[in-house]
Amino acid sequence: MRVQYLIPGPMSKGPLGRGEMERRAALLQSWAFAGTTVDVVDVPEGPASIESVYEEMLAIPETLAGVARAERDGYDAVIIGCFGDPGLDGAREIVAMPVIGPGQCSMLLAAELGHRFSVITVMESIVAPIAHQAAKAGLHGKLASVRSAEIPVLELMKDRDATMRRMIEVGRDVVKRDRADAIVLGCMTMSFLNVADELAAELGVPVINAGKAALKAAESLVSQGLAHSKRAYPIPPKLRTTPQEVVA
Amino acid sequence: MRVQYLIPGPMSKGPLGRGEMERRAALLQSWAFAGTTVDVVDVPEGPASIESVYEEMLAIPETLAGVARAERDGYDAVIIGCFGDPGLDGAREIVAMPVIGPGQCSMLLAAELGHRFSVITVMESIVAPIAHQAAKAGLHGKLASVRSAEIPVLELMKDRDATMRRMIEVGRDVVKRDRADAIVLGCMTMSFLNVADELAAELGVPVINAGKAALKAAESLVSQGLAHSKRAYPIPPKLRTTPQEVVA
Amino acid sequence: MRVQYLIPGPMSKGPLGRGEMERRAALLQSWAFAGTTVDVVDVPEGPASIESVYEEMLAIPETLAGVARAERDGYDAVIIGCFGDPGLDGAREIVAMPVIGPGQCSMLLAAELGHRFSVITVMESIVAPIAHQAAKAGLHGKLASVRSAEIPVLELMKDRDATMRRMIEVGRDVVKRDRADAIVLGCMTMSFLNVADELAAELGVPVINAGKAALKAAESLVSQGLAHSKRAYPIPPKLRTTPQEVVA
Amino acid sequence: MRVQYLIPGPMSKGPLGRGEMERRAALLQSWAFAGTTVDVVDVPEGPASIESVYEEMLAIPETLAGVARAERDGYDAVIIGCFGDPGLDGAREIVAMPVIGPGQCSMLLAAELGHRFSVITVMESIVAPIAHQAAKAGLHGKLASVRSAEIPVLELMKDRDATMRRMIEVGRDVVKRDRADAIVLGCMTMSFLNVADELAAELGVPVINAGKAALKAAESLVSQGLAHSKRAYPIPPKLRTTPQEVVA
Amino acid sequence: MRVQYLIPGPMSKGPLGRGEMERRAALLQSWAFAGTTVDVVDVPEGPASIESVYEEMLAIPETLAGVARAERDGYDAVIIGCFGDPGLDGAREIVAMPVIGPGQCSMLLAAELGHRFSVITVMESIVAPIAHQAAKAGLHGKLASVRSAEIPVLELMKDRDATMRRMIEVGRDVVKRDRADAIVLGCMTMSFLNVADELAAELGVPVINAGKAALKAAESLVSQGLAHSKRAYPIPPKLRTTPQEVVA
Amino acid sequence: MRVQYLIPGPMSKGPLGRGEMERRAALLQSWAFAGTTVDVVDVPEGPASIESVYEEMLAIPETLAGVARAERDGYDAVIIGCFGDPGLDGAREIVAMPVIGPGQCSMLLAAELGHRFSVITVMESIVAPIAHQAAKAGLHGKLASVRSAEIPVLELMKDRDATMRRMIEVGRDVVKRDRADAIVLGCMTMSFLNVADELAAELGVPVINAGKAALKAAESLVSQGLAHSKRAYPIPPKLRTTPQEVVA
């Protein structure tokens, strides 16, 4: 199967550049089941990183176009490469293949691994949006907390050791104070640091790499022949070529 | 005070046209308290109407630009003229004045008028999004139902009598079957039909005109010197000119 | 429009006296929109202040009589001047005009301003009742906390500086520990100290003056031609002059 | 032990009269454990029956006085003889002995007997208040429905057969349509018809007589040496003779 | 009436032995209403104590057999003598008499005594299971916390003073930090220490002895002629001797 | 990787027999990713099928033994082959590898595919237990309904056409009346009919085969190096060989 990992920002033009896209592609490919091909694609325009609802919103129209393009290009599934799942519900309306949101699917995975999970993210400015995301996924009752490391996205990779130290510190806090028994890394750049296993060993609880979780969710759905419900995400009325039965 | 009613689509270029914008401006002005001036402004580009999450998302970047422009132009508050509140949280991040979402504020108003409210909207395709909106407003426990009249936005004004008959039919249903004791008109074009009072008389429960409710919410906030919490909607980190205290 | 602010206790006979009623009337009038007249009226008997459910209950029968009288006297709306909203649901059953509860309406307003609000009140003895009030308003999911300053109602005005210091201290606590992003002043005497703006500046979050919020809610409803749902608050069967249609 | 069943209305002066009080006392005594004495007492003034929040509120001050009197008279527990539990929280503030609300305790009992319970009451006008009562008792998730037989309290005993037919009809409805697996009789006069067992046999689900349930709750608490938490229902500050430790 | 207290483990063969069973029988009998006979019975095989879900599950088949035997032996009700209520729902399916779970009934009792209760139990390993139990009982909204004393079941009785000191320490914590206003002792061996009253005096909140609460619940149900709903706990289809009406 | 599908009943000795186990093994193998080997194993004793909580409970001890054996035998993950997930939490306590519950994981999958899902199961007697299962998985807010086809497990395969007709009928009902936008087949024998795709085509919503979903969940976890949280499912204290750090 062919899975596209779509970055909802112009990473190739930014500081991380095409090299980072290739690094992520190699990681994703190394995580894939035999028979899966993963391509990493970015969009031509948009914010350099997403650390606010405002930036997430600006990234959406290009992301929606990218998702539609991926389906036309024959991909079996697309992953929206941002933990905030920008454009997820709209994208599901306009295509038939599975559209994976790393935030949604890694929180649902966390819900399977324990009783209460926490999300560790980059900045305080997206703590409340992630809590809303968990609630929309139906997981309000399983969310122990969302806490931020207070490291901007574009700083995360600059000093890996400092980043790890800070993540361990926040991780200990969510386990001890918030009684989390599983942790989700709530940022894709954080996930692509590929330190989830190291953190898990340190903290004594499972730590979910949202990139890996998203890939597995894509492979799982495609392999089951499932996609998102068109009754939940109907084709926008004005785009319909044939009239849909009205849901009485 | 000066309130801008910002239509998140290019209405002046569409079938309803500038005439409809003027009609809405006149209605809003007629509902305003003495001392309030209301202007109706649209955005240069975007979908002709919003009947899906996809269209809502496409409308957002221009809406955000419009909100920022309104603040620069000295408005005291802006109303985002679509029941789905497109761009609401992002807009609140980038300005300091109140940004009113007609959906959010009319559902909160409904919560004050009775025990359980229903929303009547245009199309089945936005029923689930409105339910999510109610949940995000914290009102899941007071929402009796969301039901659609199955009349496209741009058809609503074509046959006022047919529209009224259908709205009364759906209204009776939500009162009897869903036990709603208050109703919100879940579409701005529906609200600007200005039939809420007639419907209320017919159905025996309060019916909220979301346009009127939004104007009153704007006037109420400005008059109290209140705006949305900058701790809830912080300035996006990259737009900050002075470092913000980190929320520990 | 004419709005009555009905104090559910015999303030004119108590230590605060008629002077305080006049001071409140002047404040309310200064907050009103042009065209609104506000009168402050007390009831002939009842507790000197309300710091328990017991006292709230004792205050209710006179309050209900006062609300009925206000309607007969031609008022367009009545505000029950106690944060606990004593008698609210019963009052709405016996009149057709809007009856405003400052507690209910200021918590709904707080729900619009941010993601999580806290209420700061006078005494521990009414912390649980206010939490129940928030739940009944449907806002359980948005309530961060209720905390008390532990200053009796009748002491609040004696040392304004000490009161302010204590409110700032509790306010810092709810922002930091409970992660509130908006605050409601949960006592009318506290609200009429008229310090909400000063507190907001100090704490960095919106602070709602429940008296101002109640007046704006009254003006907003009257101006929209709305009142509480008679299906939610039906006329008591024994008071009906014409048989009501049974809700099947 | 001595239990007082306190009727929150002047039944002895009303149409049911002292004879009905004696009939209820005899029933209660017949339900009691050996060693329990039950007295039925009414209050001197108040509404003839309670079919609205308004009437419930009017009944409360006399009820509170009655509860305080019962404690002074040496009773071990008092039952407030109305399903709406008028004055419950206030009464618990002013006495140390258990104060039983038949509504609260019979809904908690129903929660033990099955997964979902319904309440059958007299009039539509108290359906919403009973739903609020269930929510306040923490049982929102177990309440299947509240439905009314639409028979006024004072009519219930006039035609026992017609009343039974109507209750069976509503009972079948809640079992089949609302999937209730237990039923609470939501009115004391309905409970004192003493038909719960007959209804249970007819409907195939347990039916709770709220009067019997209240008596058993009182006996159970007294026998365990338990009463309501004074931290939950603190003595009103102004009534305290010794300063209470502040709950930090 | 005859009540059986069924211990879901082979206590007579374990370190506590038959002497402890007799001690518990004497306590239960001393708590009973006149006319109640309580027998304490254990099962032939199973774990020595229950401190995990695993051990609870191993104890269930023998417990189910014991419950069926108790009904055949003519008991009016059975109490499953473990706070985790092992086998409760299955047992209710196979008998018609009341089956009491001390965990479920003491948490419902706590819900009546205050606004928020905490459970104090033996080991961290059953904290999450007890929280699930509270949620299943419908009481999620009233549970303040579950905290463990970190004393294994079989150690509880070895140093009564140390046990008391630790329980007081944890008790102070749940009152102060978790704002509990009532406490449930979440382990039967803890309950049979018979220290609830002493703890209550120390902590200033009601403390529920789960053994006493279970006995009172049994007596209360039998005395009311009530048992668990057979619609909620239907006879397993393969055990039915006559076809049951299908619930449509 | 090696996955064991463990049937919690003695299927090889029952009417379906070893042939059915081989058929299921072949299906599972056909659904697997390259590199996965699936074995189907049953337990030596227990109920012939599980249609009640009672039977589920009887099946658990052998299932727990089977899970422990599977780990000793070197499997990478085990699937408990019953939709009710018998023994799930206990099994997770005693092994370190992933233990998959088809009920839990297919409901979490359904939560990803749409807004509201329904479960279609075999018998009314397990409708309430499945609803409790959904709630425990944290999905109460996304569960539209659980409905039964009223076909005993061992009848499902006898008349495939009749079974399909009944499932389509119930499926139409949950989509139309309960507004489900995704469906889970709530029984493993139902899932191994392998008709989910056919049903999905007929009903217009995704239909989840719980057996396929469980296999994919197992492969996904093993492939990510994840297993269930040992903090959520700690080793039972008495089984610990080294003392565990106490969770403070």
Q: What pLDDT, in 10s, does the model give residues A59-90? A: 999 999 999 999 999 999 999 999 999 999 99
CB contact under 8 A, C232 and B204: no
Which residues of chain F are within 8 Å of residue D177 when distances are taken between CB atoms? none
Adjacency order of strands within the sheet including C117-121? C143-148, C117-121, C182-185, C207-208
Same domain, A81 and A107: no
Q: Does the pLDDT at position C245 exceed 70?
A: no
* Per-residue pLDDT at E243: 60
Which residues of chain C are within 8 Å of residue D152 when distances are taken between CB atoms? 237
Asked whether residue F123 is assigned to any structural domain, the reply reads yes
Q: Tell me what the pLDDT averaged over chain A comes to.
A: 95
Size of interface B-F (CB pairs under 8 A): 5
Size of interface E-F (CB pairs under 8 A): 103
* Per-residue pLDDT at D242: 65
Residue of F nearest to E48 (CA): F238
Same domain, A205 and A86: no
> In angstroms, how far is CA D167 from the centroid of its own chain?
18
CB contact under 8 A, C33 and B34: yes
* Per-residue pLDDT at A5: 98
Q: Tell me what the pLDDT averaged over chain D comes to.
A: 95
Size of interface D-E (CB pairs under 8 A): 137
Site of tokens 């869903």 = B178
Asked whether residue A241 is assigned to any structural domain, the reply reads no
Question: How far away is chain E from the Cα of A186, in angstroms, using its nearest Cα?
Answer: 25
Phi and psi for D65 in degrees, rounded to 5?
A: -60, -40
Is chain C adjacent to chain D, meaning 3+ CB pairs within 8 angstroms? yes
CB contact under 8 A, F142 and A138: yes
* Paired tokens of E91: 């047992």
For residue B207, give the H/E element and its range: strand B207-208
* Per-residue pLDDT at C243: 60
Q: What pLDDT, in 10s, does the model give residues F220-234? A: 999 999 999 999 999
Q: What pLDDT, in 10s, does the model give residues F25-34? A: 999 999 999 9
Question: How far away is chain F from the Cα of D114, in angstroms, using its nearest Cα?
Answer: 10
Same domain, D112 and D93: no
Q: Who contacts C177 (Cβ-Cβ below 8 Å, separation ≥6)?
A: none
Q: HSE on the CB side for C176, CA within 13 Å?
A: 10
Beta pairing class for B143-148 and B117-121? parallel
Which residues of chain B are within 8 Å of residue D128 when distances are taken between CB atoms? 115, 181
Question: How far away is chain E from the Cα of D143, in angstroms, using its nearest Cα?
Answer: 10
Q: Does the pLDDT at position D132 exceed 60?
A: yes
Is residue E247 very low, low, confident or very high in pLDDT (cuts 50, 70, 90)?
Answer: very low
* Per-residue pLDDT at A247: 44
H helices present in A88-247, as ranges = 88-94, 102-113, 127-136, 160-176, 188-191, 196-203, 210-224
Average pLDDT for B202-222: 98
* Per-residue pLDDT at C247: 45
D105 closest CB neighbour out of E33, E112, E231: E112
Q: D136: helix, coil or strand?
A: helix
CB contact under 8 A, B128 and F115: yes
* Paired tokens of A17: 């550049």
* Per-residue pLDDT at D241: 76
Same domain, C110 and C171: yes
* Per-residue pLDDT at A241: 76
* Per-residue pLDDT at F245: 52
Is chain C adjacent to chain E, meaning 3+ CB pairs within 8 angstroms? yes
**Distance between CA atoms of D77 and D225, rounded to whole angstroms?**
11
Q: Distances in Å between the alpha carbon of B40 and those of B21, B136, C41, F109? A: 6, 27, 41, 45
Which residues of chain D are within 8 Å of residue E107 when distances are taken between CB atoms? none
Q: Distances in Å between the alpha carbon of A246 and those of A71, B130, B145, D236, F153? A: 26, 18, 17, 58, 35
Question: How far away is chain C from the Cα of D244, in angstroms, using its nearest Cα?
Answer: 11
Asked whether residue C108 is assigned to any structural domain, the reply reads yes
**Distance between CA atoms of F229 and F220, rounded to whole angstroms?**
16
* Per-residue pLDDT at C241: 76
**Distance between CA atoms of A79 and A31, rounded to whole angstroms?**
14
Q: Who contacts F224 (Cβ-Cβ below 8 Å, separation ≥6)?
A: A31, A208, A209, A212, A213, A216
Average pLDDT for E114-119: 98
Is residue F248 very low, low, confident or very high in pLDDT (cuts 50, 70, 90)?
Answer: very low
Interface of C with D (CB under 8 A): 47-49, 51-58, 60-61, 64, 87, 89-91, 93-94, 123-125, 128-129, 132, 135-136, 150, 152, 232-234, 236-239, 246-247
Q: Does the pLDDT at position E219 exceed 80?
A: yes
For residue D18, give the H/E element and its range: helix D17-31
pLDDT above 70: percentage of residues in chain D: 97
Q: Does the pLDDT at position E163 exceed 70?
A: yes
* Paired tokens of F168: 């389509």
Largest CA distance in chain A: 57
**Distance between CA atoms of C216 and B194, rounded to whole angstroms?**
23
Q: Does the pLDDT at position A230 exceed 90?
A: yes
Residue of D nearest to E93 (CA): D114
H helices present in B38-101, as ranges = 53-72, 88-94
* Per-residue pLDDT at D157: 87
Same domain, E83 and E142: no
Q: What pLDDT, in 10s, does the model give residues D166-186? A: 999 999 999 999 999 999 999
Same domain, D113 and D204: yes
Question: How far away is chain B from the Cα of D84, in angstroms, using its nearest Cα?
Answer: 17
* Per-residue pLDDT at D245: 53
The CATH number linked to B146 is 3.40.50.12500
| DSSP strands (E only) in F187-248 | 207-208
Kindly report which listed range (B166-180, D80-94, F144-158) carries the lowest average pLDDT score.
F144-158
* Per-residue pLDDT at E99: 98
Q: Which residue has the higher pLDDT, D23 or D154?
A: D23
Instruction: Indicate which of D142, D175, D176, D179 best probes the interface with F, i.e. most F CBs within 10 Å of its own CB.
Output: D179
* Per-residue pLDDT at D154: 85
Asked whether the beta carbons of A146 and A127 are under 8 A apart, the reply is: yes
The one-character DSSP state at A116 is -
Asked whether the beta carbons of C77 and C99 are under 8 A apart, the reply is: yes
* Among candidate residues D44, D58, D49, D59, the one with its CA nearest the CA of residue C61: D58
Which residues of chain C are within 8 Å of residue B212 when distances are taken between CB atoms? 224
Same domain, E207 and E107: yes
Average pLDDT for D75-97: 98
Residue of F nearest to B146 (CA): F179
Q: Does the pLDDT at position F247 exceed 50?
A: no
Chains meeting F at 3+ CB pairs closer than 8 A?
A, B, D, E
Same domain, A109 and A75: no
Q: What pLDDT, in 10s, does the model give residues C147-183? A: 999 999 889 989 999 999 999 999 999 999 999 999 9
| pTM to 2 decimal places | 0.96
* Per-residue pLDDT at F218: 98
The complex scores an ipTM of: 0.95
Asked whether residue F248 is assigned to any structural domain, the reply reads no
* Per-residue pLDDT at D248: 41
Same domain, F23 and F114: no
Q: Which amino acid is located at C26 in the chain?
A: A
Which residues of chain C are within 8 Å of residue E141 when distances are taken between CB atoms? 140
Q: What pLDDT, in 10s, does the model give residues E182-210? A: 999 999 999 999 999 999 999 999 999 99
Asked whether residue A242 is assigned to any structural domain, the reply reads no
pLDDT above 90: percentage of residues in chain D: 90
Strand-pair partners of D119: D146, D184
Is residue D247 very low, low, confident or very high in pLDDT (cuts 50, 70, 90)?
Answer: very low
Q: Does the pLDDT at position B243 exceed 70?
A: no
CB contact under 8 A, D113 and E219: no
pLDDT above 90: percentage of residues in chain C: 91
Residue of E nearest to D218 (CA): E220
Chains meeting A at 3+ CB pairs closer than 8 A?
B, C, E, F
The one-character DSSP state at F77 is E
Residue C239 CB neighbour total at 10 angstroms: 13
Same domain, A95 and A216: yes
* Per-residue pLDDT at F244: 56
Q: What pLDDT, in 10s, does the model give residues D184-203? A: 999 999 999 999 999 999 99
Could you give the number of structural domains in chain A? 2
The one-character DSSP state at E84 is T
Asked whether residue A177 is assigned to any structural domain, the reply reads yes
Asked whether residue E20 is assigned to any structural domain, the reply reads yes
Asked whether residue E95 is assigned to any structural domain, the reply reads yes
Instruction: Indicate which of E115, E176, E178, E181 best probes the interface with C, i.e. most C CBs within 10 Å of its own CB.
Output: E115
* Among candidate residues B86, B163, B153, the one with its CA nearest the CA of residue B125: B153
Cα four-point dihedral sign D95, D96, D100, D105: positive
Is chain A adjacent to chain D, meaning 3+ CB pairs within 8 angstroms? no
Question: How far away is chain C from the Cα of D167, in angstroms, using its nearest Cα?
Answer: 15
Same domain, F37 and F134: no
Chains meeting D at 3+ CB pairs closer than 8 A?
B, C, E, F
Q: Does the pLDDT at position C211 exceed 60?
A: yes
| Domain that includes residue E120, residue range | 103-211
Same domain, B107 and B206: yes
Q: Which residue has the higher pLDDT, F33 or F16?
A: F33
Residue of D nearest to C56 (CA): D90
